[in-house]
Amino acid sequence: MSRIREVLSGRELSIIGAFVAVVAVTTVVSPSFLSAQGVHDLFLNASIIGLLAIGQTLLVITRNIDLSVGSVMGLTAYLSGQLFLADQETPTLLVVLAGMALGAVCGAINGALVAVAKVPALVVTLGTLYVFRGLDHGWASATGVLQINADQMSPDFLAFGSGSVLGIPNLTLIMLVVLAVAGYALHNWRSGRELYAIGSNPDAARLAGIPAGKRVFSAFVISGALVGLAGVLHASYFGTINASVGTGEELSVVAAVVVGGVAIFGGSGTVLGAVLGALLLTTITSALPILGVPAFWQRAVDGAALLLAISLDRAVMVRLSERLRRERSERRA
């Protein structure tokens, strides 16, 4: 038990508790929710959001954010379909690499504007959200292909998205591998630890010799590559692609990250917490129809969870500041 507590923070344990509670209540109403197929679908649905949340965590830790993730995801998903329209026998690996490359390019554009031009990330990515979505729609209109269906893609590509190993979906396995690598890098690599330093105090980080601009730019590129991967996996799993793929996903991703304990003000949080946040919010979204809650409340739940998480983080910060102030006063006395 002590080992588990070392790995999981208080916020992460509370997320697991909330997840168990939601699953328990929903299972009482519908026992099939916890069936083998139900659990399979639950983790499968959370995998893509989890991938996006891992990339977003790298940015939020540095006091930045990317609101264009949904648009980049749609753009890379559409690229996947276009590659198969050009040649239905295109290797799956090539499609994955192409999607990640396009996502990395989009991330590099955001990163250059933020790290080099010093434009606030909120402004930059709000603009590129519409630019990338416009490119997606423009591409679809120019080619005259508004929707790409499963029968136009490679069977191997579709099998990759729907396949599993020992009952674990391929998409979930990919997300877990990315989670392990990102978690290890953040806590063991110097460049990963420097992201926390940048988010905690950007000015102090620069004075300490940390190349803040380079690190932030790299975080945007890596996050973009992960978004590109998520777009390809979305195409592989769902098999139907249009220019609207990924619309509104930015709210779900940011909510998952903040609910997972990543401080919106930067400097703290883990990719594990972000993935757990994605799992919790995805589970709630899946449970709402079963519990008889109308579909239009699903986005409201994401928004409410985001506001609650930010409020809790702010309350903790205020309490911590007051505690430090009292300790300093006592030392002076």
H/E/C letters for each residue in the chain?
CHHHHHHCCHHHHHHHHHHHHHHHHHHHHCHHHHCHHHHHHHHHHHHHHHHHHHHHHHHHCCCCCCCCHHHHHHHHHHHHHHHHHHCCCCCHHHHHHHHHHHHHHHHHHHHHHHHHCCCCHHHHHHHHHHHHHHHHHHHHHHHCCCEECHHHCCHHHHHHHHCEECCEEHHHHHHHHHHHHHHHHHHHCHHHHHHHHHHHCHHHHHHCCCCHHHHHHHHHHHHHHHHHHHHHHHHHHHCCEECCCCCCHHHHHHHHHHHCCCCCCCCCCCHHHHHHHHHHHHHHHHHHHHCCCCCCHHHHHHHHHHHHHHHHHHHHHHHHHHHHHHHHHHHHC
- What average pLDDT does this structure show over 176-205? 94
> Is it the case that residue 102 has pLDDT exceeding 70?
yes
Kindly tell me if the per-residue pLDDT of 3 is higher than 50: no
The domain total for the chain is 1
As a whole number, mean pLDDT of residues 46-75 equals 96
The chain-wide mean pLDDT, for the chain, equals 89
In this model, does residue 1 exceed pLDDT 60? no
Does residue 53 carry a pLDDT above 60? yes
Per-residue pLDDT averaged across 300-307, rounded? 77
Please indicate whether residue 314 or residue 37 has the higher confidence score (pLDDT): 37
pLDDT tens digit sequence for 259-290: 898 988 888 899 999 999 999 999 988 888 88
CATH of the domain at 300: 1.10.3470
Determine the structural domain holding residue 108 and report its residue range. 2-332
- Tell me the pTM: 0.91
For residue range 181-190, list pLDDT tens digits in order: 999 999 999 9
Residue 320, pLDDT score? 67
Q: Which pLDDT does position 84 carry in this prediction?
A: 94
Q: What percent of the chain stands above pLDDT 70?
A: 95
